[in-house]
Structure 1
Amino acid sequence: MSTTLYVRLPHRPHDQPQPWHFGALPFALVREPARPATRRTDTVQAPEVLREGHAQIAALPAAERLVLILAASDVLLTTATVPPLPPARLKQALPNLVEDALATDPQPCHIGVGPALDGDAPRPARGPRRRLLMVADRAWLRAVLDAFAEHRHRRRHILPAQMCLPLAAPAEADDGDSATAQPATLVVEAAAASLAQAEGMVEPTLAPATAPDSGQWQLTVRTGRHEGYGLLLGNDALAAWQALAPEGIWHGDASAVASAPVPALRQARAADWRMWIAGAQGCLQEAGLDLAQFEFAQGRADRWNLLAWRLPLALVAGIVLVQLLGMNVHWLMLRHEQQRLEAAQLQTLHNAFPQIQTVLDAPLQMRRQVEQLRLASGRSTPDDFLPLADRFAQAARQLPPDGLQALEYRGRALVATLKPGTDTAALRGAVRQAGLQMEEDKTAEATRPAGPAGSRWLIKPGL
């Protein structure tokens, strides 16, 4: 089960300068029910409210999802025909689409693009569509998100309060026709109730003059699926507005029900957190109703959901683990084979020459012992003068009579001095076929012994 933290924001103080400082805010921590593994039953488990009350932002409990409910009086809902543009160009075009619906400059406003309102009309593959637009103050949204920057959550949503009211079931028309009328949902709350818990929202010297008994009421109305508005009214204005109020179901907080500034509130239902949670969950079903768009959209790092990636991450971890285990097993097998070969070489050396006590390099010591036995028996070794000279003589048959100017034996190798201009490429090929290797003498001329001029070459036994 996941947890969701719902927070209701106070209405923006129009008469107070920035910066705004938030105090205690109303919240509700809800445990969302787990989705059923099968859809055989239509039973839906209701969310469980774990905690509710008022708290400073720093003291709000952590949750997997944070839902900020913006006051309805701070969000204007309107409609416009929106062209299909990329996000960057769409953001620039939106102020021109709503300027006729605003009484102020649209440039300082944040405009969210809501769902399409084409209804049952055929949707064009490409072209403009009529959409819901949500207009709010950009500076107010920035202040809200900056205040919640340190709160621990994975996902974040910003919803208009009028869209978080549950829709009432349509009622039949009075004339008995099959047509139905959508009743509105109306909520009346004391405006001071949203600010009384947020006295620190502004500087102490700039505290609002509105008192809890000043008669200011916050009105939130939802008249349709994508229709609604919010007002801040006094007692007289609220009484006058009642004559224009749409038919619907009234809700009120304790102050509104007790004072009953509107007669309809005498039979009003309680505007508690369960009502707001039910409406917000329905609002979250449509991603377009989220005001966190464009510059306020949640970053990729913030949207990272480890639970959604648990299967791929587990697969990658399993592959890496198998690779590491395979590499270590293969290394152990090679190590075991190396130890076996070294033990066999050591055993062969001790069997052939038991007098050797200390073994540092078994192949090298074996080679030296064999050469010593060959010398002791009078047999020549491949790097003696006679074997080297005999093989070189066979390879140098094609040399001209004066091509070889000198032949020395030094350091168990032959040093041949060839006449300048001699074809050494053909000679080196013949020497290689005779089982020897021939390379140019790199010894510095100052250290060379005196001798005839020409190119000097070292002839050694082949490997």
Structure 2
Amino acid sequence: MSTLILHLPTARPGPATEYSYTLTADGHTALRHATAAAALLPEPTRPGGEVVAVVPARLLSWQRVQLPPGLPLGPGQQTPRLRSVLEGLLEDRVLDDATQLHFALQPDAQAGAPLWVAVCDRAWLREHLQALEAAGRRVSRVVPEFAPGPTTSGGPELCALGTPEEAYVVLTGQGPDLGVAVLPLTPMALTLARAAAPATALAGAADAADESTLPVRAEPAVAALAERTLGHQGQRMTLYTSSQRALDAARSDWDLAQFDLASTGRTRALRKAGSALSSALYAPQWRAARWGAGVLVVAHLVGLNALAWTERKALAAKQAGVRSTLTQTFPQVQVVVDAPVQMERELALLRQAAGSVSARDLEPLLAAAGAALPEGQLPTALEYTPGELRLRGVTLSPDDEAAIAVRLQAAGYRARMDDGSLLLRAEGNP
């Protein structure tokens, strides 16, 4: 699915607000990356594409809570009661008034088990969504820039972001009970990350010459500063552009558009189906499957064409055999147009010459009708054409008509009532 991914600015929207965006056709490769006002943002490149808004890590707070058992948590069950329960649990953990904050539960959350709740300023988020909708870019999903949970490396990871004047690092993958931490870009951040590393990673580093190195990524604007700050500890940097960050965030299972900001169930279902189809059509991990499906389709087409060619060849051989039989049996036939019809005509001429009758002649038709008609049923008039006999003045009940049709069919004739008369035809007669 074609996707327009927007980084929401940290300030509230205004006339001069611009959004950093990434446009992708498959969710894995960026087609374009730039900054523009809401009214000048591009549209998704394919019909049905979605717009995804990314909430910066600095504007999100992550809280670990456990909701009472039996509390419904489904997408269509985010009721005011659930909102009140969350406000009561988080009231003493947040600095702002809980009624002014927006809450979003982790995907597949279950009551009675610990779960993550993302918290941000509700008015700020609503105003940005309304500004984008007013510009014709309705946001279908809101995702966090970074989310708790396992990372690609399986351990803690650092990401240096911001500007040289205001640089910071985001620490993720600290474990199931620690969320996303935003820290100043100092050596202490790397020390905290190494302290949060699992024991297995530290044990594996015991045999190494240096301390365990953790994955550290940096935005190009602060890459040099991160290298100077953390590089003296033997840490190597990997560039991590904002477009790559946007693509990774958009592939997240999170959707912060919940409660009063939630989209409809139909929209969620269509978005899920579109994302699955887009992944199957464009995602790199499905490339082998797409090639396999293409080869299978080509093989089927080749097989069907080969089978059709064989059937056409067999049919042509049978038609040639019928024509050959006709011309060999009746040498006077020079031009073959419809071999079965011409052969039947020649056979009829032979019977006439020999004085014999066929099932299409009058005498067999009269004999079959006389044997099938009920006693006392006599026609008042006869009309005969080759292969067809019409008996007028015959009156039959539906049961008698069905019985006569069965008896005549056994003799090789078809019978039916037509315009107050009984019509008999020889089988095969057009």
TM-score scaled to structure 1, two decimals? Answer: 0.49
Give the gaps of 5 or more residues in structure 2. 1-5, 22-27, 43-51, 194-218, 223-227
- When the two structures are aligned, how many residues end up with a matched partner? 325
The match for 2:421 is 456
User: Helix, strand or coil for the counterpart of 1:404?
Assistant: coil
- For residue 279 of structure 2, what is the aligned residue in structure 1? 305
Q: Is the 8 A contact 2:169 2:182 kept in 1?
A: yes
| 2:317 aligned to which of 337, 340, 346 | 340
* Equivalent residue number for residue 370 of structure 1: 347
Q: C-alpha separation between the residues in 1 aligned to 2:285 and 2:123?
A: 34
CA contact (8 A) 2:20 2:34 kept: yes
Structure 1 residues 106, 380: closer, same or farther in 2, change over 3 A? same
Letter of the 2:112 counterpart: P
Change (3 A) 1:373 1:289: closer
Identity of aligned residues (%): 19
SS where residue 351 of structure 1 aligns? helix
Q: Can you give the 5+ residue segments of structure 1 that lack an aligned partner in the other structure?
A: 1-6, 26-31, 33-53, 60-65, 117-125, 170-184, 194-216, 233-244, 257-266, 444-454
Match of 1:439 in 2: 416
1:399 aligns with 2:394: no
Do the aligned partners of 1:375 and 1:381 also contact (CA within 8 Å) in 2? Answer: no
TM-superposed deviation, 1:420: 4.8
Partner of 1:351: 328
Residues 183, 189 of structure 2: 8 Å contact kept: no
Higher CA-based Rg: 1
1:415/1:111 Cα in 2 relative to 1: closer, same or farther (>3 Å)? closer
Asked if 1:18 corresponds to 2:14, the answer is yes
Q: What is the 5 A alignment of 1:135-150?
A: 135-138=119-122, 140=124, 143=128
Note closer, same or farther for the CA distance 1:69–1:312 as it changes in structure 2 (3 Å cut): same
CA distance, structure 2, for counterparts of residue 352 and residue 221 of structure 1: 95
TM score, norm. by length of structure 2: 0.52
In the other structure, the counterpart of 1:274 is: 237
Shift in Å at residue 291 of structure 1? 7.6
CA distance in 2, matches of 1:275, 1:381: 95
> 2:10 corresponds to which letter in structure 1?
R
What residue in structure 2 maps to residue 408 of structure 1?
382
- Given residue 237 of structure 2, which amino acid in structure 1 is its aligned partner? R
Residue 102 of structure 2 corresponds to: 109
- Asked if the contact 2:9/2:19 (under 8 Å) is kept, the reply is no
Write out per-residue CA displacement over residues 187-218 of structure 1, whole angstroms, 9 at most, x where no aligned residue.
Answer: 99889x3xxxxxxxxxxxxxxxxxxxxxxx67
Give the aligned residue type for 1:80.
V
CA deviations over 1:257-296 (Å, ceiling 9, x no partner) = xxxxxxxxxx96579993896xx99xx99x9997857559
Residue pair 1:115, 1:289 contacting (<8 A) in 2 also: no
CA distance in 1, matches of 2:425, 2:253: 87
Note the 1:7-406 alignment, pairs <5 A.
12-13=10-11, 18=14, 21-22=17-18, 56=35, 70=56, 72=58, 74-83=59-68, 85-88=72-75, 89=77, 93=82, 95-96=86-87, 97-100=89-92, 101-111=94-104, 113=106, 128-138=112-122, 140=124, 143=128, 158-159=145-146, 193=165, 226=178, 269=230, 274=237, 294=258, 301-302=274-275, 304-306=278-280, 307-393=284-370, 395=371, 399-400=375-376, 403-406=377-380
SS at 1:80 equivalent: strand
Q: What is the root-mean-square deviation of aligned Cα atoms in Å?
A: 6.1
Q: For residues 119-177 of structure 1, give each alpha carbon's deviation from its aligned partner in whole angstroms, at most 9, with x where no partner exists.
A: xxxxxxx7534445442234555749969x99xxxx9751279x99x9x99xxxxxxxx
The separation in 1 between residues aligned to 2:383 and 2:96, in whole angstroms, is: 109
